Amino acid sequence: MAAPEPLSLERLYRVCDPEQLGFRTTEELAGMDRPPGQERALEAMDLGANMRAPGFNLFVMGPEGDGKLEMVQRLLAERAAREPTPSDWCYLNNFDEPTQPRLLRLPPGQGARWRHDLEQLIEELRSTIPATFESDEYQNRLQELQQQLNRRQREAFETIQKEAEQYDVTLLQTPSGFSFAPVKDGEVIEPEQFQQLPDEERKRYQEAIEFLQERLQSVVQQIPKWRKEIQQQVRKLNEEMTLLAVGQRIQELRQRYGELPVAAAHLDAIRNDIIEHVDAFRSGEQDHVEYILGRYRANLLLAHDPADGAPVVYEDMPTHQRLVGRTEHHVHQGALLTDFNLIRPGSLHQANGGYLVVDAHRILTQPLAWPSLKRTLSAGEIRIESLEQVHGFWTTVTLEPEPMPLRTKVVLLGDRMVYYLLSAYDPDFPELFKVEADLEDDLPRDTETQQLYARMLATLVRQRRLRHLDRFAVARVIEHGSRMADDSERLAAGGRAITDLLQEADHYATGDGAEIIGQDHIERALAAQERRAGRIRDRSQETIERGTLVIHTEGHHTASVNGLSVLQLGDFGFGRPTRITATARPGRGQLVDIEREAKLGGKIHSKGVMILSRFLASRFAPEGDLSLSASLAFEQSYGGIDGDSASVAELCALFSAIGRVPLDHGIAVTGSLNQLGEVQAVGGVNEKIEGFFEVCRRRGLTGQQGVALPATNVPHLMLRQEVRDAVAAGQFHIYPLSRVDEALELLTGLPAGVCDDAGEYPQGSVNRAVADRLVQFAKSQRRRGDGDAGDTPDTAEDDDD
């Protein structure tokens, strides 16, 4: 098996030829109404939007920052514009149960008119009712009723007086009431004179007075009844006059809204309440009058323009109250009070009849918001409840408004992990969100998709009102799309990163006074983005350059190799070399993963170490145990280590430690090993290569340096220009690996060696050196018995330049 040949320059970067794009600027291109490559997700969104059965809400999933929100809002807005406009809704006072306001549903556009009509009615009531009761007609009729009562009382007393005269008795009105007194010769008999009268005459007077008092008492007892009758007639008069004042106006409103039974019933209730409280209007107590009038208003919860179509609402702060609405309070004499006028809608109300878009992570982190949304979707109605009501306690006056029927399609946005966790652990979730729209992260890169990508860019610049791009700028963005996708054969689907790039490039074009965005503006924007995010990367490179972080980029060293890792800081990732060392001595088949022992290694890294240990055992001790005690470590690594992309490098370091074969440190290695010795693809190959290249460049390129990577990663290469320039000049090399033996030959300069039929490896090969040392370990182990071979490793790192 020969060492691999370095890759040609053409395989390190896939160029987009601007001349093959077929246009000069994106201004010549038609826009797109749908993003390219998202057919699967768009079909799911169409299904979810069209299904009216309960539970067919959507979960749109994709990686963070991929532009889901803008895409979903745009697609839903296009659909909603063609859909019918939902109804207007008002909350009205419930005159029977004021704590349970009633809902009124009106045709779109009629809610504002209804509220205006009621406000006009209120204004009319302020003036019409007092004027009506101050009119001459009312005063005359009221006076006539009072005179009628007075006349009836006067006639009753006159009748008593006439009867009294027949008995020589007169009726007197005193400060304490009415009384009778005897009369003789037209004069009232004084008490002293009355006592001097004969007994028989006194008795006659007394009997007459007693009889008349009974008659008077019967008349006096009738007076409250007469007054009550008059009061009833006054009330009837007041009702008649009130109806005269407002009846016609209310009847006009009933005719206008006659097709709405709730509106007609509410107008009747207003009329009856005005009649009941007409004295408040006559009293002139302004505060009381305003309180009465406030009960006749309409709290317009939702109003729509009939031409608007269905609403699309994005709730960026999905708390419980912002979703289902709230009831506000005001302070009166130290107490918190509320009424139907203080009911405020939530985003579920605002999106009713349309679409509500919510970020899944945000709603899950808000107390009670997720349960409230699920309860609303399950019940099919929006119930306004305060947090106190939900918890089951409250200490202030509160309302229980009539729930609003729900016709909202809810669209959750989130990453795939949130979707999978909800599906697994929330039994309600699959019933309420039956449609998942899984957005593609990338799309195939071919001639057709490059044209679609260019049209997507044309659409973005029009939407953002940016300058158009020339074909060279488009070609550079396409190439950057492949870099974002970590694949020369695919393109990142776009999203926020592409939009941000275009906006920054437009900024530089503005500074240059350019009419279009050129390739130079794209390059400057990319460089600026990298510089802003690259402080930690530059400091890391500086620690290597100063020797604080020990990395050899020249010469041959035993038991040590340069591995490659990627540090991800938010959206920015960069590669850097990592020194991997190994030790080996006689032992009992133990391979110590120091990262794992220190609890710095993750599960995938531990799996990789176990695989390489099994590969080592299967190659050199297929029928027994290795007489080996070895260890592996990532030097100067003080954080967590995970992933198996260093397992090929770890195996090379271990072979070097066992066989005392020096490795070339001018070549860094990345790749995952399987149990068959095959090298498997890993992630972040571009960043890893560029990280090692930067270390070598700062120290000075020797022409012997490079990176070995899995052959299956070659299609993923989209290396920066400076790396490609160094490769073109023969100063840096990229080697593809298919098997671990190729890495051994590349790093040692020796043949790996193939086992013959007798199980022997050829002299001078790497495998022979390892096999011979393992035989020595076995002999040493047998001499020592089963005891420990000692604390001093048999193999430490040696240099051989």
For residue 279, the Cα-to-chain-centroid distance in whole angstroms is: 53
Tokens of 621: 């001790």
348 CB burial (10 A radius; 0-12, 13-18, 19+): buried
Residue for token digits 């099919």?
380
Q: Residues near 412 by Cβ (< 8 Å), separated by ≥ 6?
A: 57, 58, 59, 60, 358, 359, 360, 363, 433
Supply 83's token pair. 């859909």
CA of residue 201 relative to chain centroid, distance:
105
Cβ–Cβ under 8 Å, residues 26 and 457: yes
Q: Classify burial at 617, counting beta carbons within 10 Å of its beta carbon; exposed 0-12, middle 13-18, buried 19 or more.
A: middle
**Which residue in the list 347, 409, 688, 765 is annotated as catalytic?**
688
The partner residues of 585 in beta bridges, in order of sequence, read: 629
355: phi then psi, degrees, rounded to nearest 5: -135, 135
| Spatial separation of the C-alpha atoms in residues 619 and 116, rounded to whole Å | 89
Is residue 742 a contact partner of residue 1, using CB atoms and an 8 Å limit? yes
| Residue labelled with tokens 């390190």 | 12
**What region, left, alpha or beta, does residue 260 occupy, with left being phi > 0 and alpha being psi -120 to 50 degrees?**
beta
12-41 burial string, b = 16+ CB within 10 Å, else e?
bbbebebeebebebbeebeeeeebbbbeeb
DSSP-derived pairing of the beta strands 705-710 and 732-737: parallel
Nearest to 345 by CA among 111, 546, 118: 111
What CA–CA distance (Å, rounded) separates 514 from 526? Answer: 18
Looking only at the bridges linking them, the beta strands covering 590-593 and 572-585 are unpaired
- Identify each DSSP E strand in 246-311 by its residue range: 298-302
Residue 745's nearest CA partner among 661, 622, 680 is: 661
Q: What CA–CA distances, in Å, run from 398 to 330, 386, 585?
A: 12, 9, 79
Q: What is the dihedral of CA 688, 689, 694, 697, to 10 degrees?
A: 160
Out of 645, 647, 672, 765, which one is annotated catalytic? 645
Alpha-carbon distance of 61 to 413, in angstroms, equals: 6
Q: Which residues are 583's β-sheet partners?
A: 631
Residue 23 CA: distances (Å) to CA of 29, 135, 517, 612? 8, 85, 14, 53
Question: Can you read off the two tokens belonging to residue 410?
Answer: 């809810």
Using CA atoms, how far apart are residues 332 and 344, in angstroms rounded to an integer? 20
Nearest to 654 by CA among 620, 682, 607: 620
Q: How many CA atoms lie within 13 A of 637 on its CB side?
A: 26
Phi-psi region of 353 (alpha: psi -120 to 50; beta: other; left: phi over 0): left
Report the distance separating Cα 202 and Cα 193, nearest Å.
10
Cα-based distances in Å from 289 to 29, 278, 381: 66, 10, 35
Q: What share of the chain is helix, strand, coil (3-state, %, to 5)?
A: 50, 20, 30
Distance of CA 547 to the CA centre of its chain: 47
- Residues 6 or more apart in contact with residue 46 via CB below 8 angstroms: none
Please indicate whether residue 645 is annotated as part of the active site: yes
Catalytic residue positions?
Answer: 645, 688
